[in-house]
Structure 1
Amino acid sequence: MPYWFNVDTGAVETDETRSQDANVLGPYETEEAAANALTAARERTEAWDAEDREWEQRGSKPSFGED
């Protein structure tokens, strides 16, 4: 059963209790994963921001031979 995290209420929801799409994150495989949705989203955003900073420091074109 998929679980959803409601960003307005902070509650974990199921398909039967799920709010509008704009108000939920998911689906998640477990209730625990849904409960930790904001933490996971923050960690992914921080990692992407770090990658962006690294990309900008290198310049937009990688040097020959770089991955």
Structure 2
Amino acid sequence: MPYWFNVDTGQVETDETRSQDANVLGPYATEDAARNALQSAKERTEAWDAEDREWDERGAGGSDPA
């Protein structure tokens, strides 16, 4: 059964209790994963930001063919 995290209420929901798509993150395989959705999203965002900074520091590494 998929689980969802409602960002408005801070509650974990199932398909039977799920709110509108704009209000939920998921699906997640477990209730625990859904409960930790915001922390997981924060960690992924921080990792992507670090990758972007590394990319910017190295430069694009090529020239524009145009």
Residue 37 of structure 1, CA deviation: 0.1
Give every structure 1 segment of 4 or more consecutive aligned residues whose post-TM-superposition deviation is greater than 6 Å.
none
For residues 15-37 of structure 1, the C-alpha deviation after alignment (integer angstroms, 9 at most, x for no partner) is: 00000000000000000000000
Q: Alpha-carbon deviation of 1:61?
A: 1.5
Q: Structure 2 length as normaliser, TM-score?
A: 0.92
Tell me, which stretches of 5 or more residues in structure 1 are unaligned? 63-67
| Aligned residues with identical type, % of pairs | 81
- Which residue number in structure 2 is paired with residue 16 of structure 1? 16
Superposition deviation, residue 58 in structure 1 = 0.2
SS in 2 for 1:27: strand
User: What is the aligned residue count?
Assistant: 62
Coordinate RMSD, CA, aligned = 0.8
Q: Secondary structure at the match of 1:19?
A: coil
Aligned partner of 2:38 in structure 1 is: 38
Q: TM-score, normalised by structure 1?
A: 0.90
